[in-house]
Chains A and B, each alone.
Chain A
């Protein structure tokens, strides 16, 4: 009987087994499809998130200005449009005025290098610099071949850099459009998002969001004000160097802007800011014996940037930055190394992004502790 039963049950169980195997295979296939899709879509999601994060940061920067315009009786949408009109006006003017100057400057430097490379005066200048360096550090020498290969590499990539600039321009435009939406409708979006939080955590989430937004705005405003301070000081300093020592540094506005932005990266930023000034001074003064006798004004430029840093560290930063960027030098180096995996922009954003994350984590921790949830 039992044998008979097992015989009758067997085909059914086999059918069930087949069915379940088929189901498992279908699920497995679907899972693979989903995973492959996710893997394919992952870079797109990361790109979209990156744009949204940048737009959110810009919103935090511009929000106080739009709030102020709204408080004067202007509708939020008109305030936002007015502000963007102003920004586009300034940027447009900068592009119209700046790009031809920048291109002329690049072409001029390229010509100077080619001329000097031809007459081998670059070698003689490097020899002169090496002789001066040897007075201080005997073991350190600049390799002329390395310098000329680096500069030729830089100029050969100039075309692709300019092509990439158009791509970047489109991305910037896209970011600005997202920022505009965030500025006009951001409050409603935040309200909708927080509205999804369960009642138990609602008050806490609202407080954390508010405090984080406030801290973030203060932090970014501080950073931007400090950058603006450094840029203005660099502009004045470089012009003074040109006036007093005839250092022949061109593109002062651009160099000052780079110095200001680089200043957002602690420890490394100030050095990054002075590099373009030194390079421009070096190339502009090739073949000038007076400049050569002044070590191509490199020391003057370094001293000027050190003074700017002293003023920034002791006067401007303590006033405008709330001290939320206090980081160990090792942390900064590690962050820049990690950021460098995402290119120059990654290097530039790694430290401020960490600073922002620190503020968010601190606020979330305080909020959870206040509501006795941890």
Chain B
């Protein structure tokens, strides 16, 4: 006689539930971001203690184009619009980000000005992880800091490869256009 797997044992299930580690929303959001996706839950907990959880109202800017960049953001709840400010024109929306999405991670490495404006589109809860936080982790937990830096380098490498691919495509298109122009 085969045992039915769907039969539940309430006492056992209750114990199992109690033993199951409880993850906060921030921990879940952090584990989804590619910079932290390879960290253990224990390491995620350390990062959670270092980050800042902020609430933004609809239309409230998170950062503005031209501001010195200082960190990355991960959306726990809500949505964020990325806008390009064009002089004498209304801002152009480049993308809309939702729960679990992240942006601005390059600013962790580089303080150059932000290239776009990020604005909350509705009531949003967002994690902010800034360069001072990363520096602090690097100082006090160098192994964890190294893992985050390695993940950041991988993000950069992927972006660089994709940009190179785009560049090759554009240069080929340009060459073909020049060729067409010469033939005509």
A interface list, Cβ under 8 A from B: 67, 70-71, 76, 187, 191, 194-195, 199-200, 202-203, 206-207, 209-210, 370-372
Contacts and interface: CB of A to CB of B under 8 A. Distances in A.
B67 A199 contact: no
A67 B139 contact: yes
A191 B136 CA distance: 12
Interface in B60-116: 60-63, 66-68, 70-71
Interface in B4-45: none
Contacts of A202: 52, 54, 128
B132 A207 contact: yes
Contact of B68 (A191, A194, A195, A207): A207
B130 A206 contact: yes
B141 interface: yes
Interface residues of B, number: 22
Given A71-B140, A187-B136, A199 B62 contact: yes
B67 A203 contact: yes
Contacts of B140: 67, 70-71, 76
B67 to A, nearest CB: 6
Nearest to A72: B142
A121 to B, nearest CB: 61
Name the prevailing secondary structure of the A interface residues. Answer: helix
Contacts of A71: 139-142
Contacts of A372: 66-67
A194 B50 CA distance: 13
Contacts of A209: 132
Contact of B60 (A76, A191, A199): A199
A371 B62 contact: no
A371 B130 contact: no
A206 B70 contact: yes
B177 interface: no
B47 to A, nearest CB: 13
A113 B128 CA distance: 68
Contacts of A191: 52
Given A191-B52, A210-B135, A370 B142 contact: no
Contact of B63 (A70, A195, A203, A206): A203
A187 B60 CA distance: 28
Given A67-B139, A187-B136, A210-B135, A203 B70 contact: yes
Contacts of B54: 199, 202
Contact of A371 (B52, B67, B142): B67
Interface in B140-178: 140-142
Nearest to B141: A71
Contacts of A187: 136
